């Protein structure tokens, strides 16, 4: 199996998508809403905090070019894993951090990764680790948002990655 999928929530999905689009081995990224309580939510509904969705990036990758561990290492380089429901200036449950797997193997791998990460710090890591419950593509204007709006807000410093 060469191509795999993982879902990462790391605050505003615009920057997370732009960051991973610059990485080798990434086949496709899609922003959307995951782990919520209603089907096909709108951005406006998610922003109310009442749907329980989190802004999430679906990452399809070639594991011969980039491993799940490398993806998690990259992910942890752009998030603050100790902040609950917040990344950068973004606050709310839709900005919580999480890793959502589509199979038990990846879920267990992530669990061990998080346990090892937690051992290296006294601060509590608040990154969710769950099997993916649901994922709904975000509206088209959110897809590749920072490509369409180069001066758009981003909590991640992308200056080293811009082409």
> How confident is the model at residue 159, as a pLDDT?
80
143-147 average pLDDT score: 95
Confidence of residue 39 (pLDDT cuts 50, 70, 90): very high
Separation between Cα atoms, residue 163 and residue 120, nearest integer Å: 34
CA torsion, ordered 120, 115, 27, 55, to nearest 10 deg: -90
Is 156 domain-assigned?
no
87-92 average pLDDT score: 93
Q: List the beta bridge partners of residue 98.
A: 9, 128
49-72 average pLDDT score: 97
Which residue range forms the structural domain that includes residue 140? Answer: 3-148
Q: Give how many domains the chain has, as a whole number.
A: 1
List, for residues 7-22, the tens digit of each pLDDT value.
999 999 999 999 999 9
Q: Which residues contact 163 (CB under 8 A, 6 or more apart)?
A: 22
pTM (2 decimals)?
0.96
Question: Based on the number of CB atoms within 10 Å of its own CB, is 67 exposed (0-12), middle (13-18) or buried (19 or more)?
Answer: middle
- Asked if 154 is an active-site residue, the reply is no
Looking up residue 67, the CATH number of its domain turns out to be: 3.30.1060.10
> How confident is the model at residue 1, as a pLDDT?
56
Is 160 domain-assigned?
no
Name the packing angle between helices 68-78 and 13-21 (round to 10°).
130
> How confident is the model at residue 153, as a pLDDT?
83
Is 132 domain-assigned?
yes
List, for residues 67-80, the tens digit of each pLDDT value.
999 999 999 999 99
Catalytic-labelled residue, pool 9, 12, 71, 127: 12
Tokens 């610059």, residue located: 22
């Amino acid at each position: 199996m060469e191509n795999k999928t993982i879902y990462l929530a790391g605050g505003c999905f615009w920057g997370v998508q732009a960051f991973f689009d610059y990485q080798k081995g990434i086949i496709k990224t899609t922003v959307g809403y995951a782990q919520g309580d209603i089907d096909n939510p709108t951005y406006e509904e998610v922003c109310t905090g009442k749907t329980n969705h989190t802004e999430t990036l679906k990452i399809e990758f070639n594991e011969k070019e980039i491993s799940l561990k490398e993806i998690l290492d990259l992910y942890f380089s752009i998030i603050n894993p100790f902040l609950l429901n917040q990344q950068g200036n973004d606050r709310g449950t839709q900005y919580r951090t999480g890793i959502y797997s589509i199979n038990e193997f990846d879920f267990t791998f992530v669990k061990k990764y998080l346990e090892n990460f937690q051992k290296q710090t006294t601060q509590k890591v608040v990154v969710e680790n769950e099997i993916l419950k649901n994922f709904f593509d975000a509206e088209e204007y959110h897809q590749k948002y920072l490509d369409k709006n180069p001066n758009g807000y981003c909590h991640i410093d992308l200056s080293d990655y811009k082409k």
